[in-house]
Structure 1
Amino acid sequence: MENIIIREIKKSDNAAIEHIIKQVLEEMGVPKTGSTYEDESLKLMFETYQDKNATYYVIEKSGRILGGGGFSQLANADPSVCEIQKMYLIKETRGLGLGKKLLAKCIDGARKSGYKTCYLETMPSMKAAQHLYQLNGFNYIDKPKGDTGHTACQVWMVKEF
């Protein structure tokens, strides 16, 4: 895919990225309760990621948002641990290497922000995402870290820098 850029989120991206995240969650059959679906931050993604130790990126092609992902300090955890958050791409873009590029951007940003560990949560049904994370050095762990409030997410992974 040509003319694709990965850039930091703008306020004008809020509605599009909220729509994409909810669309993907519904497509994957993710419960609305105990998942990202009920996060208040979905309506204010730009505002949520304005902290100096947090960044959210969107994938854009010719003005159209195709997905996004970011990182932020993991809630109620050691300050050296960040969480890869809200990484979702529309169906037509999956399998094209965009998730790999987006994840690399998130990991690089987290490293530059001084984090020592990246943590993430996902759903058991999201096998392709888990495979991507494993290929990029994430390992499974037995229990969740921090307090994300995402009780429906039953797969936990970490990557140490």
Structure 2
Amino acid sequence: MYQLVDIQAQHNADISRVIKQVGAEFGAIGDGFGPGDPEVACMSEHYLLENRSRYIVALVNDQPVGGAGIAPFQPGSDTCELKKLFLLPQYRGLGIGVALTKACLAFAQQQGYQHCYLDTLANMTAAIRLYESVGFTHLTQPIAGSIHGGCDVWMLKTLS
């Protein structure tokens, strides 16, 4: 069994390790990829409700095994971004990624966002199937302002 909780300071080191480990598994290393973003070192300080953002951690036996977040794509925007959905390999295929994604999208709707954007890598095929299953559609290019130049798949979902 797993539990979904809002990120707390005590999760920072573990979730940073998860993000970097999974990023490396798929070649997402360095500038232009989510695991290289400065926020990864201290996620709890960057995902705050007052900023219309939230990072949700998946715990198994009280240990972080993955997480996902929502944050404004740009300040004041009606578009949010699904960010840093990473899950350790041994916990994939158990519904945790779907639960994280749905919790993030529910939060985005509560916050009044109209659209949710994400960027990812083509080799993250299971993640892409997950995104498609919850209504994300493919874009031909990133939306203006995207900072992850290393990504080669861009998706958008209209929130109702």
| Interval of TM-score (by shorter of Structure 1 and Structure 2) | over 0.9
Preserved CA contact (<8 Å) 1:74 1:146:
no
Q: Which 4+ runs in 1 deviate beyond 4 A?
A: none
SS of aligned partner of 1:121: strand
| 3-state SS, counterpart of residue 107 of structure 2 | helix
Structure 2 counterpart of 1:13, one-letter code: H
Question: Counterpart of 1:40 in structure 2: which amino acid?
Answer: P
Q: Distance in 2 between matches of 1:148 and 1:71?
A: 15
- 1:62 aligns with 61
How far apart are the structure 2 equivalents of 1:148 and 1:15? Answer: 26
The aligned residue for residue 10 of structure 2 is: 12
Q: Indicate the percent of aligned positions where both proteins have the same amino acid.
A: 33
- Residue identity matched to 1:116: Q
| Local SS of the residue matching 1:145 | coil
Is the 8 Å Cα contact of residues 118 and 160 (structure 1) preserved in structure 2? Answer: yes
Letter of the 1:62 partner, please give it.
N
In 2, Cα distance between the equivalents of 1:160 and 1:37? 26
Structure 1 residue ranges without an equivalent (≥5): none
Partner of 2:154: 156
Task: Say which SS state the counterpart of residue 18 (structure 2) adopts.
Answer: helix
Provide the rounded CA distance (Å) in 2 between the counterparts of 1:73 and 1:149.
13
Match of 1:73 in 2: 72
Structure 2 unaligned spans of 5+: none
Is the CA contact (8 Å cut-off) linking 2:68 and 2:83 kept in structure 1? yes
TM-score (normalizing by structure 1): 0.94
Counterpart CA distance in 1 for 2:36 and 2:146 is 12
Question: What value does the CA root-mean-square deviation take over the aligned residues?
Answer: 1.3
Which residue of 2 is the match for residue 138 of structure 1?
136
What is the 5 A alignment of 1:1-161? 2=1, 4-52=2-50, 53-75=52-74, 79-161=77-159
Query: How many matched pairs?
Result: 158
Local SS of the residue matching 1:68: strand
Please give the alpha-carbon distance, in whole angstroms, between the structure 2 residues aligned to 1:123 and 1:75. Answer: 21
| CA shift for structure 1 position 50 | 1.3
CA distance in structure 2 between the partners assigned to 1:146 and 1:84 by the alignment: 16
CA distance in structure 2 between the aligned counterparts of 1:75 and 1:29, rounded to whole angstroms: 26
| TM-score normalised by the chain length of structure 2 | 0.94
Give yes or no for contact 2:29–2:36 (8 Å, CA) kept in 1.
no
For residue 72 of structure 1, what is the amino acid of its counterpart? A
Contact 2:69 2:84 in 1 (8 A): yes
